[in-house]
A and B are shown apart, each in its own frame.
Chain A
Amino acid sequence: MSSPAQQSAGKPVAFVSAQALRARMHDAVNDPHLRQSFRGAMDFLMAKRAAQFPDQGELDSLRSLSESIRQYSLSKLPDLLEQLEANLTRNGVQVHWAETPEEANAIMLGIAQRHAARLIVKGKSMVSEEIEFNHAMEAAGVGALESDMGEYIVQLAGEKPSHIIMPAIHQTKQQIAKLFAEHIPGVDYTDNVDALIQIGRRVLREKFEVADIGLSGVNFAVAETGTLCLVENEGNGRMCTTVPKVHIAITGIEKVVEKLEHVAPLFSILTRSATGQAVSTYFNMISGPRRGEDKDGPEEVHLVLLDNGRSQAYADEQLRKTLQCIRCGACMNHCPVYTRIGGHAYGTTYPGPIGKIISPHMMGLEQTHLLPTASSLCGACGEVCPVKIPIPELLIRLRGEANSAPHANPAMVGQGAAYDPKISLLWKLWARLYARPATYRAFTWLATRFRALTPTQQSGWTAARTPLKPASRRLRDMVKDRR
């Protein structure tokens, strides 16, 4: 069979730039099939999460604790990273540091080449998506095969994940059935989900058996013990980290916690917030390669620590909260915008609210400044975030960074990208008008008395609504009359 790895080799997956966001949003909201499937899926996930937290008090307490653990960890981040490195090294794990996606890919390609690897099987890793790992490997002639069922489907289709937890959420079983029948030799069309999963199991088991390297992400890295924790349901994560001779884990630098016990509440709130599961099928704690009496497990384990803009978020006390994220996806499940446009429209590795606040640090504001504006600030994301990231506040902050005159904040890549002197002037005038009661009164008096002159085309408002028209008399006029 031709593996999806081979099919997509040399062809960068079409990931449109964030500037085309508007066009993609337009297409997405006008795609009834997409709208219906995301609405259904999000309703399902919201209900499942809600069922996991019947007691508001317990949820509040667990969220506060989880927030504290993440903030505590971040406040000691450089220390914890060094401690993690020392303990992993002691355990026999090789630790690598990468500032950029290119560096991370080069490190991993080096490992692959040292082992003359031909096939890398991958457990689910959003960081590997972030650095376009598959593409980098394939360009160098190393196959990279996704083994998470959703990721496998997405790779087979030549797409990118549309959700960080459920990558193939945009595909129907009929589409997947077609995909399998077309791409996997000897497979007939079936849209029976069990049958489809068994096909995937068969194909991927053959690959686990022969793969040279297994790649995985990391959910939590424990500094005091030098342990990498992985959360999964399928068992492919265990396969990737156990069967091949080499295991490479890649993670963002923010994922470290100090103590093993810190993992217990975070793990619990992660699975419950993400998929509404009390616990995932597997929680895999890896503290080193095969050693001593061990009879299996990889002979080499590597950890790649990736920055890719995270240190920029870290540098600012408010924006640092972005790094509290444990990638549960609850913010997108509850987002009315995500529900209507799906994950691909964002054009970034991480879609939804978390994508809007993390992508600017990874890609710069030039490409991403529209993302923070694509929110009604309804606060649903912040309300469910298990580590209490004040997402709406961060969106407002990023809007400000994008709007302000260039060079106002050199620490932020792309700051000022949306600066428009005309818009800034308008807001200045607005402020002048509203900060001076007499001027304001004159303005509103005119606007109400000459309301017949109100324009009937009111930009985005009248795209779908009847025009706004001032009342004939203001509230203050009515108040005055009454007295």
Chain B
Amino acid sequence: MSARERILAKLRKAQPELPQHLPSLDAHYAPRVRGESRQERLARFRTGIEGFHADVHISTAGNWPQVLATLCAEKNIQTLMYGAATPAAAQLEATAFGGTTLRPWAGQFEDLKADLFHRVDAGFTLARGAIAETGSLILWPSGDEPRTLSLIPPIHFVLLDAATVHPTFYDALVNENWAAGLPTNALLISGPSKTADIQQTLAYGAHGPKELIVIVINVEGGTV
């Protein structure tokens, strides 16, 4: 018998005949779904993620590349890497970036590894959505926007559409039926990387990005 069979046999022998009752998760979350407006939800997201040391900039569908360009200039970004085939890429490429070189991801990770570690100053990705309750971004990296783009460069810029902010993580994954098909890697990101492993003192920029900058497309244009 293999280890697998032995372990399963031991467990089967002790397994209860009927599964334990499981109350509905909806019942727990339903009263918590707040009847709030999009602006209120966005405001909650913003408070949350700013609490985790991320910067949030509110922009519009037309103006966000300009905001990004300005931020790149302010932060003296030499090279900004982004996914080439996203709808945002075209907008990005049509914008004057001054001293910042826009570099689309091209090829496999192995071709870019050294550059990602040593020469790319910032990565730019889209967010699939966000979570108001905790101030978290949802990212589903893909061939167009690989995982390391949001991980290795010291600064991570994220573009978020205010229409995609969910009240809770539970709402996001149930309403969008994530279980029907997850990508290789799905992520929640709540701020730049950090650690409190030395004397409980919080320090940012542990192994991942040192800065997380969120640019929100707020179609309704309300103030947050």
Q: Which residues of A contact B (CB under 8 A)?
A: 41, 44-45, 61-62, 64-65, 68-69, 71-72, 74-79, 81-82, 97-99, 103, 147-150, 153, 166-169, 171-173, 176, 193-194, 196-198, 200-201, 204-205, 208-209, 224-225, 227, 233-236, 238-239, 242-243, 253, 259-262, 264-265, 267-268, 275, 278-297, 305, 307, 311, 314-317, 320
Contact A68 B105 (CB under 8 A): no
Contact A315 B109 (CB under 8 A): no
Contact A260 B178 (CB under 8 A): yes
Contact A78 B12 (CB under 8 A): yes
Contact A294 B170 (CB under 8 A): no
Q: Given the known inter-chain contacts A148-B197, A197-B206, A275-B196, please indicate yes or no for A295 contacting B185, CB distance below 8 A.
A: no
Contact A97 B2 (CB under 8 A): yes
Contact A285 B6 (CB under 8 A): no
Q: Which of chain B's residues 177-198 have a Cβ closer than 8 Å to chain A?
A: 178-179, 182-198
A303 nearest CB across to chain B (Å): 12
Contact B185 A287 (CB under 8 A): yes
B99-124 CB contact bits vs A (8 Å, 1 = yes)?
00000010111000110010000000
Contact A268 B14 (CB under 8 A): no
B108 nearest CB across to chain A (Å): 6
Task: Report how far A166 CA is from B201 CA in the complex, Å.
Answer: 12
Asked if B20 lies at the interface with its beta carbon under 8 angstroms from chain A, I say yes
Contact B143 A196 (CB under 8 A): no
The A-B contact count (CB < 8 A) is 248
Residue in A148, A209, A283, A287 whose CB lies within 8 Å of B182: A287
Task: Report how far A290 CA is from B194 CA in the complex, Å.
Answer: 27
Task: Report how far A293 CA is from B105 CA in the complex, Å.
Answer: 13
Contact B196 A264 (CB under 8 A): no
Contact A77 B182 (CB under 8 A): no
Q: Please, which residues of chain A bring their CB within 8 A of the CB of B194? A: 233-234, 281
Shortest beta-carbon contacts, A-B, top 7: A235-B208, A293-B143, A296-B109, A150-B197, A235-B193, A234-B206, A279-B134
Asked if B94 lies at the interface with its beta carbon under 8 angstroms from chain A, I say no
Task: Report how far A168 CA is from B168 CA in the complex, Å.
Answer: 33
A123 nearest CB across to chain B (Å): 10
Smallest CB-CB separation from A176: which chain B residue?
A: B198
Q: Please, which residues of chain A bring their CB within 8 A of the CB of B4? A: 97
B1-30 CB contact bits vs A (8 Å, 1 = yes)?
011101110111111101111110100100
Q: Please, which residues of chain A bring their CB within 8 A of the CB of B189? A: 281-282
Residue in A81, A172, A224, A285 whose CB lies within 8 Å of B11: A81
Q: Given the known inter-chain contacts A168-B198, A239-B151, A296-B147, please indicate yes or no for A225 contacting B8, CB distance below 8 A.
A: no
Contact B207 A314 (CB under 8 A): no
Contact A315 B10 (CB under 8 A): yes
B27 nearest CB across to chain A (Å): 9
A122 nearest CB across to chain B (Å): 12
